[in-house]
A and B are shown apart, each in its own frame.
Chain A
Amino acid sequence: MAADFGQFFLNSLPNLFNGLGYTILLTFISITAGFFLGIALALGRVYGNKIINGFCVGYIELIRGTPLLVQLFIIYFGLPSIGIIFSPIQAALLGLALNSGAYQAEYLRGSIQSVESGQMSAARSLGMNRLQSIRNVILPQALRISIPAWSNEFIYLLQYSSIAYIIGVAELTAEGKFIAAHTFRYLEVFAMIAVIYLILTIVSTEIIDRVAKHFSIPGIGAAKRTSLRDL
């Protein structure tokens, strides 16, 4: 019985591996693209004039107020009717990135605002202009403060990348469905997939925590992390 499962598992590996590759690709690219979008939006909200701020708020609220699936459907099914056609993987990357950007913008904004105003005064008093102050003084601190929220976002994206299955991307969950449809061993396949996601989550959390520790500075961002390892 166990050996049988073991054989099944080994047979499935190639497919699972392919799927895993797509999952990781989706996660990494969207979190990175989302990060840059998020910073732009956050800076626009904190330092921008009324128009820029309004635009940023509008975008963020729209994205956060609608499900990711709807956004993907609009991009993948809706846009072709006005001539913009994306492949499934392109649509998924775009959708996830745009989505993540809005969420990252919110906690980046919180972090930027939690850097005391005295830091900006000191930077300006040295003769730095606004851009220099943001780049050299505010952001280095805000980014460190954001690390707990950012690692949550990574886990979030890791899991929601599975939605890409619905528009046809052959990521991990899709591969699982494929194998299950052919072997009818639904329970085992999805249990395997669940375990793989679980391992990915735990490993990512560990890696991010290590990296964060490496970049940590005493006195900045001792924010409480709603850790999966809380006891």
Chain B
Amino acid sequence: MWKKNIRWQDIRRRLTDETKEEIIMPMLEVKDIYKSYGTVQILKGVSFAMEQEETKVIIGPSGTGKSTLLRCINQLSPPDKGQVWLDGEEITNPKTNINKMREKIGFVFQDFNLFNHLTALRNVSIGLEKVKKIEKDAAQKRAMQELTRVGLEAQINQYPAQLSGGQKQRVGIARALAMDPDVILFDEPTSALDPELIGDVLDVMKSLCGKVAMLIVTHEMGFARNVANEIIFMEGGLIVEQGSPKEMFTNAKMARTREFLGRIGALYGEEETGG
């Protein structure tokens, strides 16, 4: 049995002609997602919601469906059952234009997936040019802004093969940011990086807190503890518990949560909580 977080249910608002009631809808709503690959059931009914500019971190043991969940949200792997709502529109509805929806959802991959044949600058600007149909000069200007924001203004004309892992990931983040998404999904953004490069990427992500909604799957506990508005702990394809970092780390209600955070917390250590 997992505990429902009733916070988001309290603040729903929907405009209806009949009742003239106003219920607030969360920006992103994930309802009852089921997903299986072949005979293996990966996700067994996952639900949660996100607000604007919220930073939510998903943690849990490997192989429990965290990455699959992210891919279900932007439909790279459509779920078998369940719905995803973004800004009041149902993404999972076959009639919805999924490409239009994806413009509003940024995705940062574990393996970066930068376009190998394009420079860093064009990697960031191509979405603006081809998808949002923004004129080339304006697109490149915007791309320049985002790359400067992540600290890579010197690398704009380099190709992915010439960049370090940390630089590649920051380009990936810039690419997602340039599209002005409502939410950015991060799929273990630092797992493929050498330890000394992780810091740069985490710093960029920290700087985005409060400016854009972020849903992050990660093993970086220090980051989760210091930066997240809410932490979701998943295991076995289900949400075990969710709560604020303070609640989860010091006062978790489920034994399993305490066990996981206790072990992992000790392993990854605590970050300084200053500032």
Contact = CB atoms under 8 A, between A and B. Distances in A.
B102 A119 contact: no
A219 B161 contact: yes
Interface stretch (B103-111, B136-144, B146-154, B212-220): B103-111
A132 B76 contact: no
Contacts, number: 73
Q: Which 4 A-B pairs have the closest CB atoms?
A: A219-B161, A122-B113, A125-B107, A126-B127
A129 B99 contact: yes
Interface of A is mostly: helix
29 contacts: A118-B109, A118-B111, A119-B113, A121-B109, A121-B113, A122-B114, A122-B115, A124-B102, A125-B74, A125-B76, A125-B102, A125-B109, A126-B103, A126-B179, A127-B101, A127-B127, A127-B179, A132-B131, A137-B117, A140-B117, A141-B115, A141-B116, A141-B117, A144-B117, A217-B117, A218-B161, A219-B160, A220-B117, A220-B161
A136 interface: yes
A132 B103 CA distance: 14
Interface in A93-151: 116, 118-119, 121-129, 132, 136-137, 140-141, 144
Contacts of B117: 137, 140-141, 144, 217, 220
Interface residues of A, number: 22
Interface in B9-26: none
Contacts of B8: none
Contacts of A116: 113
B159 A218 contact: yes
B201 interface: no
Interface of A: 116, 118-119, 121-129, 132, 136-137, 140-141, 144, 217-220
B131 A126 contact: yes
B175 interface: yes
A128 B162 contact: no
Contacts of B132: 127
A121 B111 CA distance: 11
Nearest to B127: A126
Most buried by B among A126, A132, A144, A218: A126
B171 to A, nearest CB: 11
B256 interface: no
B130 interface: yes
A124 B76 contact: yes
Given A217-B159, A219-B161, A128 B130 contact: yes
A220 B179 contact: no
A119 B204 CA distance: 23
B115 A127 contact: no
B4 interface: no
Given A128-B99, A132-B130, A136-B130, A123 B115 contact: yes
A73 to B, nearest CB: 42
Given A122-B107, A126-B179, A217-B159, 4 more contacts: A125-B109, A126-B103, A127-B100, A136-B130
Given A126-B127, A127-B131, A136-B126, A219 B116 contact: yes
A128 B103 CA distance: 9
B76 A219 contact: no
Nearest to A125: B107
A124 B274 CA distance: 40
Interface in B81-116: 99-103, 105-107, 109, 111, 113-116
